[in-house]
């Protein structure tokens, strides 16, 4: 099992290196972002562990670059920051998991084992959508706005997912009906409008901006302003 660690703090790097060697992992270490990226491109690693704050290139940029180049190697992000935003950003850039510093070594091993087990499973790198401060995570099937979780029914979730796959695009009622309900409605039915209102109440009420806009006589569009 070959692991690349990109970490600029020598103490942390050697702590991880010693521990992983004891567990039988083969570890290579890069101490800055640029050499980390070039090692990641050249080496055939089973896992990449990326610190976020790094000289020359940060961990988020390395991760995004690798994913743009279609590298599917699992990425574990180490973040000292630990706020939801940073975690979400890491996942958005294509990281598979994150660990907040300081962490217990046992926890690191558990994450490594989970990620390398999943190695042969299909990798989804585009599983998070975001508009303004609304975030949909398709892995966890959760929605957050302004860091608050929004509880949705299955139908509301499906509707939100459809909107977020089609940001800035008009969705007609019949498209929505077909995608979310899977059959044709009686055209007099107002069930779509009812559900759009449920979703608006949950995702917009008490938040900073409207995201779902009515296009009179046509349908709905999700966009910022
Ligand atoms: Ca660092």
pLDDT score, position 185: 58
Q: What is the pTM of this model?
A: 0.53
Residues 137, 111, single domain; the answer is: no
CA of 54 to the centre of ligand 1 (A): 5
Tens of pLDDT, residues 32-51: 999 999 999 998 899 999 99
Q: Last residue of some domain: 87, 119, 151?
A: 119
CA of 50 to the centre of ligand 1 (A): 9
Q: How many CB atoms lie within 10 A of CB 42?
A: 9
pLDDT score, position 207: 92
Residues 7, 112, single domain; the answer is: yes
CA of 6 to the centre of ligand 1 (A): 9
Residues 56, 132, single domain; the answer is: no
Residue 124 scores a pLDDT above 50 = no
pLDDT score, position 122: 42
Domain membership of residue 56 as a residue range: 2-119
Q: Last residue of some domain: 81, 96, 119?
A: 119
Please state whether 177 falls in left (phi above 0), alpha (psi between -120 and 50) or beta. alpha
CATH code, domain carrying 106:
3.40.50.2300
pLDDT score, position 144: 94
Q: Work out the average pLDDT over 74-78.
A: 91
CA of 145 to the centre of ligand 1 (A): 29
- Total domain count for the chain? 2
Residues 207, 145, single domain; the answer is: yes
Residues 60, 96, single domain; the answer is: yes
Residues 7, 107, single domain; the answer is: yes
């Amino acid at each position: 099992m070959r692991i690349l660690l990109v970490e600029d703090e020598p103490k942390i790097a050697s702590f991880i290196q010693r521990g992983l060697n004891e567990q039988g992992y083969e570890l290579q270490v890069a101490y800055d972002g640029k050499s980390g990226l070039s090692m990641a491109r050249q080496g055939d690693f089973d896992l990449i562990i990326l610190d976020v704050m790094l000289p020359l290139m940060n961990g988020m940029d390395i991760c995004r670059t690798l994913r743009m180049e279609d590298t599917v190697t699992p990425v574990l992000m180490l973040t000292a920051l630990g706020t939801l935003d940073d975690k979400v950003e890491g996942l958005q850039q294509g990281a598979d998991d994150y660990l907040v510093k300081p962490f217990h070594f046992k926890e690191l091993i558990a994450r490594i084992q989970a990620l390398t087990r999943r190695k042969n499973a299909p990798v989804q790198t585009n599983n998070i959508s975001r508009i303004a401060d609304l975030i949909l995570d398709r892995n966890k099937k959760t929605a957050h706005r302004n860091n608050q979780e929004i509880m949705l029914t299955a139908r509301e979730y499906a509707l939100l997912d459809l909107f977020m796959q089609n940001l800035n695009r008009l969705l007609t009622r019949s498209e929505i009906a077909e995608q979310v309900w899977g059959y044709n409605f009686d055209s007099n039915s107002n069930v779509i409008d009812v559900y759009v209102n449920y979703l608006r109440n949950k995702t917009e009420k008490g938040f900073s901006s409207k995201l779902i806009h009515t296009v009179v006589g046509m349908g709905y569009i999700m966009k910022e302003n």
